[in-house]
A and B are shown apart, each in its own frame.
Chain A
Amino acid sequence: MQSHFDLFGLAPAYALETDALERSYREIQSKVHPDRFAHAGDAERRASLQWTTRVNEAYRTLKDPVQRAKHLLELHGVDVAFETNTAMPPEFLMQQMELREALENAKDPSALDELRKRLRQEKSFMERQIGDSIDHKKDYNAAAGLVRKLQFLDRLDEEIDAAYEEIE
C-alpha cells in the first residue's frame, strides 16, 4: 500500500516538512475535493469522496506527532501496541502521577495554564527524542517506547481540556 508520505510526495521521516505537506495537501484537495464535482455524475462524486477522505486521513495522521510516529514505525515493521504494551519505566510513572496530582489540585484557569505549559514542554522534548530515534539512530523499538509515553502525555492534555470545561 502507498504510504501517507508517498501520497504527498514526501520523504518518510519524523521531522516534518510542514510547508511542503500543506502545499501538496492543498494541491491534491483542489483536484479531488467534492466541491469540484458537485455537478458531476455519481461515479466521479464517489471517487472524489473516497479520495478526499483518504487525503484528509493521511494529512491528519502526518500532522499528529503520535500518529505520524506510529505510521512510520509500521512502515518499518514495528507495532507500537498501545493496547497491549502498557509497561512503563517507574520514574516515568512517578512523574505522571505527580502531574495528575497537580491537575487535581488545579482549581483555576491560571493553574491549568501553568500545568499545560509544563506538559507542552515535556511533549516537545519527547517529540525531539522520537525524531532522533527514528531519523538518526534508526532504533525503532526504542522509538516505540517513547511513542507510548507521548500518548500518555496526550491523554493528560485531553484531561486538562476537560478540567478547563469543568471550571467554565
Chain B
Amino acid sequence: MALLQISEPGMSPEPHQARLAIGIDLGTTNSLVATVRSGVPVVLADANGRTLLPSIVRYVDSRKIEVGYAAQARQADDPKNTIVSVKRFMGRGVKDVAHLESAPYDFVDAPGMLQLRTAAGVKSPVEVSSEILRVLRERAELSLQGNISGAVITVPAYFDDAQRQATKDAGRIAGLNVLRLLNEPTAAAIAYGLENSSEGTYAVYDLGGGTFDISILKLSKGVFEVVATSGDSMLGGDDFDQRVFCWIAEKAKLAPLGARDMRLLQVKAREAKEYLTLHGEAAITAKLSSGEFVDVSLDTETFCSITQTLVHKTLGPVRKALRDAGLTADDVKGVVMVGGATRMPQVQRAVGEFFRRDPLNNLDPDKVVALGAAMQANVLAGNKPQGEDWLLLDVIPLSLGIETMGGLTEKIIPRNTTIPAGRAQEFTTFKDGQTGMSIHVVQGERELVSDCRSLARFELKGIPPMAAGAARIRVAFQVDADGLLSVSAKESTSGVEASITVKPSYGLADADVERMLRDSFDHAREDMHARALAEQRVDGQRLIEATRSALAVDEKLLNEEERAAIERAISSLQKLLTGTDHRKIKQAVEALNRATDEFAARRMDAGIKRALAGRKIGSL
C-alpha cells in the first residue's frame, strides 16, 4: 500500500503552489501588512478588524512589550519607555535628529546610530522597529494560516544606505525573509498604475509621518521606470505636529515641560491637525501635571500660516526631481498623493497649484503603499506567470562616492542611476613607498566630504612600495536591487592584488545583529534551533525546486558530467533535508549553489541571446 505523503509546514508539496508573500509598509506613524489573495491585494486586519498598527512600541519591563494601540494608549503616562516615530532614528546618530530636545527619551550616543535607554535595557532603533515587524508577521501568519515565504518592506525613496541597511536588519531580526526593500512612492505607483492601467509620466508626492519623497515615473505597458527621485528624510506630518505644539506652548505661555506633559501636548497637537482637515477650528484642552489647564483654539488660517514654510519646503525637492528628469510640471500627466499628511488641505492646494492640475486621491493614502508592496511581493515570490508580471526599474536617491585628497568627494555612482548599478574608478598613491590606503565611502551631493553622510571607512593594506602615483587602486562600487552598497578595492600593478569587501555599517556589526536575533527569540520563547532548522529546510527545498525547474528548461546547456555533478549535489542535499542538523543542510545548500554557478551564468547568457533573437525576428 502506498503511503500518503504529508509535507512539512511551509514546504510546498508541488513546486508551483503559490507562496505566501506579504508587503509591509513600515511607517513613521502607522504600519500595515498586505497580501495578494486570489489575485486581489488586501490589507490584513488584526483580531479587532483594525488594519493600521500604530508604529509605537512600549517596553513595560524587561519581559513585556506592547506594540500598537496598547502602547499608544499609555504613551503620555510612560513617555520614556514608549517609543513613537522610531523610523526617524533608523541609521541616524544623535547629531542627525532634529527636535531632539523635545523628544522625551533617554538617548544613548552610540557610534553610527543612536540608542534608547528603556525599562528593558538599551535598545537600538533597529530592535524597536523589529518589534513592529514581528507583530505584523504574526498577524499575517494567523490570517494566512501558514508560514510566510517572503516579505517586501517599503522604505522612503530618499532613505540613504545606512537607513536601508537598518530596515533590512530589522526585518531579519523579526524573522522575515526580506525579498526586497521597495521605495514607498514606487510601491504606490505600482498599486495606482495597475488599478488605473495608466500610461505616461506620473509624479508620486509622498508626505508621510516623518519623511517626504517625490518620484517621477514613466509608466508603460508592463514597465514601471523611475526616472528621478528626491525628498527629505527629515520632513513629515510630525513636523506639522511640532509646529502646533510650539504654538500651543507659546499661546498658553507654558513654562518648560516635563516628559509626560510634552507627550500629552504632542498628542493634542496631532489631534488638532487631523481635526482641521475637515473643520475650520480646533479646540485644544489639556490638564497638565501641575494642575494647570491648557485651553486654546486653533483656526485653519493660523494653522496654515505656522506650517507654510513646511509645505513650501516640499516643493524644492519636487523641482529638483523634475530637473533631474529633464521635465517640467506640464509634462506630468498626474500627481498621485500618498501618505496621511497629504490629507491636509494646504498640502493638496500647494501641489495642485504647482502642477496646475488636481492631485489624484482615488486610493487610500494610508494603504496604497502596503498594497503596492504586496503586489510586488507576489511577483517576487514567483506567483505571477511571465507575461502577467511587470518590470520595475528603480534608482538610487543620492550619489555615492569616496573621499579624495583635501576632503573632497569624488562621485562614483551619481544619484538617479538605475539599480542594480556598479562602477569602478582608479585611484593612486600620494606618497613614495605608500603601502596602505584609507578608503572613506560617503553618500550625498555636496562637494565637501564633511557635508556628506559617512557610510564606511576601510583600509587597503599590502600595496607594494612604489613611487607616488605608480600604484593603481581600483575601487569598485556595487549597488544591489535593494539599493544597498558594497565596496571592494584592489591594487593591480605588479601582479600583487589585495581586495576587501565591506558592507557599509552604521555601527551595528553583524555580531550585534546576531545578538539581537538571539535576544528576540529568547524573548518570544521560540526555539532558535527549531526556527533555524525550519528556515534551512525551506531554503534547501526552494533551491532544489529552482534547480530542477532550471534543469528542465536548459538541460542542454550542460554536458553529461556537469549535469551529473549537479544531480549529486541535489541528492545529497535532499538526504540531509530529512535530518535535523541545520548546519549540515546549510553546507549542502552552499555546495549546490557552487555546483550551479557556471550553469546559472550560461542560462543568463542564453536568456539574453533569446531576447535579442526574438527582437530581430520581430523587427524584420
Contacts and interface: CB of A to CB of B under 8 A. Distances in A.
A134 to B, nearest CB: 24
A29 B419 contact: no
A63 B437 CA distance: 35
B593 A42 contact: yes
Given A34-B420, A53-B420, A44 B546 contact: yes
A28 B392 contact: no
A79 to B, nearest CB: 15
A168 interface: yes
Contacts of A41: 543, 546-547, 589, 592-593, 596, 600
A161 B590 CA distance: 48
Contact of B381 (A20, A39, A53, A165): A39
B607 A32 contact: yes
A124 interface: no
A42 B417 CA distance: 25
Interface string B399-434: 000000000000000000111111100000000000
B223 interface: yes
B481 A35 contact: yes
A86 interface: no
A53 B418 CA distance: 9
A26 interface: yes
Contacts, number: 123
Interface string B518-547: 000000000000000000000000110011
A44 B379 CA distance: 17
A30 B380 contact: no
Interface residues of A, number: 39
What class of interface size applies to chain B in its complex with A?
A: 35 or more
Contacts of A26: 223, 391
Given A24-B615, A38-B380, A44 B223 contact: no
Given A38-B180, A39-B381, A39-B382, A27 B612 contact: yes
Given A47-B601, A49-B481, A52-B420, A164 B612 contact: no
A48 B376 CA distance: 18
A168 B317 CA distance: 10
Nearest to A120: B326
B218 to A, nearest CB: 10
Given A35-B392, A41-B547, 13 more contacts: A20-B619, A24-B615, A34-B480, A35-B376, A39-B382, A43-B597, A44-B550, A47-B604, A51-B604, A56-B418, A57-B421, A60-B417, A168-B319
16 contacts: A29-B393, A31-B607, A32-B608, A33-B481, A34-B481, A38-B179, A38-B381, A43-B594, A43-B597, A43-B599, A44-B603, A49-B420, A56-B420, A60-B418, A164-B319, A164-B323
Question: Across chains A and B, which 7 residue pairs bring their CB atoms closest together, nearest first?
Answer: A38-B380, A31-B607, A43-B600, A34-B481, A53-B422, A27-B611, A42-B593
Interface of B: 19, 149-150, 179-180, 223, 316, 319-320, 323, 376, 379-382, 391-393, 417-423, 478, 480-481, 542-543, 546-547, 550, 589-590, 592-594, 596-597, 599-601, 603-604, 607-608, 610-612, 614-616, 619
